[in-house]
Amino acid sequence: MRRHWAQPAVAVIAAMTLAGCGLGSTGASEDAGGQVTGEVKGKVSLQTWALKPKFTDYLQSVIDAFEKKYPGVQVDWLDQPGDGYSDKVLSQAAGGGLPDVTNLPPDFALPLVKQGLLLDVAKADPKLAEDYVAGGVDAYRFAGRTGAYGYPWYLNTDVNYWNSELLTKYGLDPKKLPTSLDELIAQARTVKEKSGGKAYLMSRKPGLGDLANAGVRIMSEDGRSFTFNTPEAAALLDKYRDAYKQGLLPQDVLTDKYAGNAKLFNAGAVAWTTGGGNYITGLATDNPSLAPKVVPSPAMGTPPLYVQGLSVSQRSKNLPAAIALARWVTNAENQAAFAHLTSIFPSTKASAGDPFFSRSDGTNAGDAKVIAFTSLAKAAMLQPVQVDGAMSDIVNQQIALAVSGGTTSRKALDDAVAKCNQLLQN
């Protein structure tokens, strides 16, 4: 009896297996240089990160225009909520269901690249480097690998924000803002003394970005080991430890409450914070009386570069359409339109001359936008993308231990490097 159904079942499985061999056929082809060519048609999925509902109209119009340009294409747009986005992408990737085009910051992209899940778009699209700013493209180049694995979409960086009222109240001049850590600590001491310890200027503990900013090399060039346990790094932590001991920072900065920094600033308890180019616009809603008193200034040292990009799945069934879609969403016109809606900055070279970004309207929010835009020219990713969640925790813990005086700065850094290296090699 069993053989009656067993034989057809084997035949069906065999047929499916054979049919499966042809599933990758897309009509796409690669030339000798690896460039993907072929007709832009078929169904492609696009996954974004928390753009609905605020930017639904914008992105839908971008997609509609793409479908109009390529009538043979149908775009299936999926927007994932902000919380748990990495888990969602992880389950998609693990289950073989990564969308054709996915919004991935570089640190999310790297593990997928290691598994061969993302397309080398520098190879597939040789005009990548011509059209996008180098910093954006470089963010998707990873140590030890050739190629680039994402179209840079939009960029951002940090600007310093100062509460001019608090500064003046505690004897500081908002026109002579600190431009280095030493000046910051000196002014923080003044605020502490004149406020009787009620107000603070500094309210965050240092991180890897601060070490990089102090000239410390975080990783070896081949990306195989961490190297931030240097005397310079220890000296920086020592400065923070002394400042903490003197009460120049709130006690709770050691429990990873960096978000608390902005909260304290919004509440008027701290006179300095950092934020993106649109920070004052958001503050105008949270604390309308404080917003006009805020003075922006460029970030100290090298400004951090935050990059969002679109990566293409290596397993896309319609590669030419997927590449065309990623390029379309990130082209200069569409990025400029996006930047006009919210305070992000485009990653295309053609956007450099847009006066919208380079001229202030005279308000402090406009000044901040211009400062952020001009800072992008020298901004860099200060923390290597190899630093994963567990490493980040270890580094934060060890830095907190050093700043609290629980161990020496050198030992904390040595321990952090040893543990991070262990995780890196695992």
Partner 1 sequence: MTHRRWFTPWLLVAPALVWLAVFNIWPSVNTVILSFTNAKPLGGGHFVGLDNFHRALTDDQLVDALLNSIVYMLVCLPLLTLLPLLMAVLVEKKLPGITFFRTAFYTPVIASAVVVALIWGWVLDDRGLVNGVTQQLGLAGGPLPFLTDRWLLLFSAIGLTVWKGLGYYMVIYLSALGNVGRELHEAAAVDGAGAVRRFYHVTLPGVRSTMLLVSVLISVSALRVFSELYILSDGTGGPGGRDMSVVMLIQMYSRGFTGHLGYASALSLLLFAVTIGPMLLLLRLNRKAA
Contact segment (CB under 8 A) with partner 1 among 2-10, 125-133, 157-165, 394-402 equals 394-402
407 binds partner 1 (CB under 8 A): yes
Bridge partners (DSSP) listed for residue 362: none
Measure the CA–CA gap between 356 and 273, rounded to whole angstroms: 25
From the CB of 304, what's the least distance to partner 1, in Å?
20
CA distances from 214 to 143, 151, 167, 181 (A): 22, 30, 26, 9
CB closer to partner 1 out of 34 and 247: 247
Contact segment (CB under 8 A) with partner 1 among 85-93, 172-180, 318-326, 365-373 equals 85-93
The sheet with strand 272-275 has its strands ordered as: 272-275, 159-163, 294-298
CA angle 311, 420, 401 (to 5 degrees): 120
Q: Which of 216, 400, 413, 417 binds partner 1 (CB under 8 A)?
A: 400
Closest CA to 423 of 388, 383, 384, 382: 388
CB closer to partner 1 out of 341 and 390: 390
Do residues 172 and 191 touch, judged by C-beta distance below 8 A?
A: yes
Burial of 2 (0-12, 13-18, 19+ CB in 10 A): exposed
Site string for partner 1, 97-136 (x = CB under 8 A): ----------xx-xxx-xx-x-------------------
Measure the CA–CA gap between 164 and 177, rounded to whole angstroms: 10
From the CB of 386, what's the least distance to partner 1, in Å?
9
Q: Which of 313, 364, 396, 409 binds partner 1 (CB under 8 A)?
A: 396
Please provide the distance, in angstroms rounded to a whole number, between the alpha carbons at the two ends of the chain: 52
CB closer to partner 1 out of 134 and 267: 267
Measure the CA–CA gap between 103 and 92, rounded to whole angstroms: 13
397 binds partner 1 (CB under 8 A): yes
Site string for partner 1, 232-271 (x = CB under 8 A): ---------------x--xxx-xxxx-----------x--
Which residues here bind partner 1, judged by CB under 8 A?
A: 86, 89-90, 93-94, 107-108, 110-112, 114-115, 117, 197, 247, 250-252, 254-257, 269, 388-390, 393-394, 396-398, 400-401, 403-404, 406-407, 422-423, 426
